[in-house]
Structure 1
Amino acid sequence: MGNGPAVRRRKLGMELRNLRCRAGLTSNQAAQLVGWHQSKISRIETGRSGVKTADVTLLLDAYGVRDPQQRALFTALSGAGDDGGAHWWHAYRGLLPPQYQDFISLESQARTAKTLETSAVPGLLQTPDYARAVTRASLAELPQDAVDSLVEVRLARQEVLRVEYPLELSAVIDEAVLHRPVGGRRVMADQLRHLTDTAQLPQVRLQVLPVGIGAYIGMTCPFIIFSFPNIADLDVVVLDHLTSSLYLERKEDLEAYSAAFRTIQALALPPQHSLDLIAGIGDGV
């Protein structure tokens, strides 16, 4: 376990080492090809130092990696480093903590996201007013312009659901979330309508855990599982806390949380029944 940047460095370094070995190169030979000292290759592969996007591109060229999707994933996962200015969230670097930037980077390149939410609507499914109310309640000391900027970030993140190759989102929401009038009745009514609208997207699977099931695995610990195309070893579980996020990368953790999510999905209402329940709650707001 660790923080986001450290997890990504280790995983990225491990995969770059695998690519080098598959290319039949020693670390010395790889260093000579790209004009570096061997120690730089070693630091990158062990995750002891970050790697710039331009350096990843050099290594991919040297290792003969031509697949566009694989190249895009590797370069994007290095993109929260010093030179990743091309990504939209870097315009907010003065506001966003490094862990949040890293989370957005992972989210933007993941193939699938599976999330359990027990206290709020998932960020990718929030309306602007709901996001503003949640942000204001969580960060009461922030000035209004900072709150507005964080809401902009939340809304910009949602584009991953509408790009050419969108993120496939499976979300399970505790029914209690739907009854909590975040931002007031009007805001909550709009949020519930937005949930039913967004759930029509083919890449979104939304389910509700009815309160009648009682206690369930995960009820005290919301989480999200990111999975990536082509490189399963980059998959990661993210646990959100009040002041930080915890990233779990061990195979045992991934298997345990994946099994828990399957159990939760089986307990939840099917998607259409979930939408019917959301619509019914919305009618009463």
Structure 2
Amino acid sequence: MQHGPAVRRRKLGEELRALRDRSGLTSGEAARMVGWHQSKVSRIETGRSGVKPEDIRSLLDVYGEVVSAQQRALLEALSASAAGPGPGAGAGAGAGRGREWWHDYRGLLPQEYRDFISLEAGARSARTVELSVVPGLLQTPDYARAVTRAALGGLPEPKVDALVDVRLARQSVLRADPPLKLSAVLDEAVLRRQIGGPGVMAEQLRHLSEVTELPQVCLQVLPFSVGGHLGLTGPFVIFSFPDIADLDVVVLDHLTSSLYLERKEDLEAYSAAFRAIQAHALPPRDSSDLISSLADDA
């Protein structure tokens, strides 16, 4: 099983190796210029070691003109979450410039959820298929609370409130500059399942109707009339990243774990599946009309 930091460490290392190659340096030469042993560069490039933002900056300074400003900013941001636990990642990994808001919830959020949030925060776009619940980025507070209670029965209310706060904080990516581009296909069951009761569901449907007007959100509904479809194998999310296509990753959620798929064949298969599911879904305007109709009837 691949977890977020492991995936990102390896792919980050591959990108750094490509930049070094373009700069015309060997790993030994790059290491000497930075003042490291060659083995450190090797560990970073093969993903066996975490890498801190300051290490990234040192390497990129050495690689010089082959590194664009946008690449530099992205690689420095990615290095904070890519460090994760493991060789070379000390207790301070992720602190300082690379520190992000979800690190404040270490005692509450499992590592896999923090990995997911870091991927979401760094992504350029996300494509998702949902069969049972509204995607977290589009949930209202009361709907998020009802989902959390249902999924984690018996959890003390203060922890439920904290998890809802996290869910709402995640939604800031849709308001960032530039915002995350979200393409979501929802099974019709998502709109008709009464999570939290009629009042909560009515509010959630009205919210969905409003977000369909956002230029960064493409929301489509897969109607019951379609019958069987590829999405029945389970929900998934595909994250894509700016400038570095090789960092794209598919995330599959299970009851007790998450699976991260990064092989080219997996990415192509899930991208094709998403396009096929989109093709069977209602167009965005018709989807918006259906959501508005259901909200009015709720």
Give the match for residue 126 of structure 1: 139
Cα distance in 1, alignment partners of residues 282 and 183 from structure 2: 13
Higher mean C-alpha displacement, 207-216 vs 79-88:
79-88
Q: Is the 8 A contact 1:60 1:71 kept in 2?
A: yes
Give the match for residue 71 of structure 2: 70
AA partner of residue 137 (structure 1)? A
Give the match for residue 89 of structure 2: none
Aligned residues: 285
TM (norm. structure 1) is 0.97
1:83 Cα offset (Å): 2.5
Cα distance in 2, alignment partners of residues 102 and 35 from structure 1: 31
Cα distance in 2, alignment partners of residues 94 and 203 from structure 1: 32
Q: Matched residues, percent identical?
A: 69
Q: Is the 8 A contact 1:79 1:105 kept in 2?
A: no
Higher mean C-alpha displacement, 195-204 vs 59-68:
59-68
Higher mean C-alpha displacement, 106-115 vs 201-210:
106-115
From 212, 232, 248, give the equivalent of 1:235.
248
Structure 2: unaligned runs, 5 residues or longer: 84-91
Give the match for residue 201 of structure 1: 214
Q: Is the 8 A contact 1:113 1:167 kept in 2?
A: yes
1:67 Cα offset (Å): 2.6
AA partner of residue 245 (structure 1)? S
Equivalent residues in 2 for 1:2-21, closer than 5 Å: 2-21=2-21
Give the match for residue 46 of structure 1: 46
1:66 Cα offset (Å): 4.7
AA partner of residue 68 (structure 2)? D
Equivalent residues in 2 for 1:85-234, closer than 5 Å: 85=95, 86-234=99-247
AA partner of residue 94 (structure 2)? G
1:68 Cα offset (Å): 2.8
Q: Can you list the C-alpha shifts for 1:181-201, whole angstroms capped at 9, x where unaligned? A: 111111100000000111111
Cα distance in 2, alignment partners of residues 67 and 128 from structure 1: 40
Cα distance in 2, alignment partners of residues 4 and 17 from structure 1: 20
Cα distance in 1, alignment partners of residues 290 and 151 from structure 2: 28
Cα distance in 2, alignment partners of residues 61 and 152 from structure 1: 38
Structure 1: unaligned runs, 5 residues or longer: none
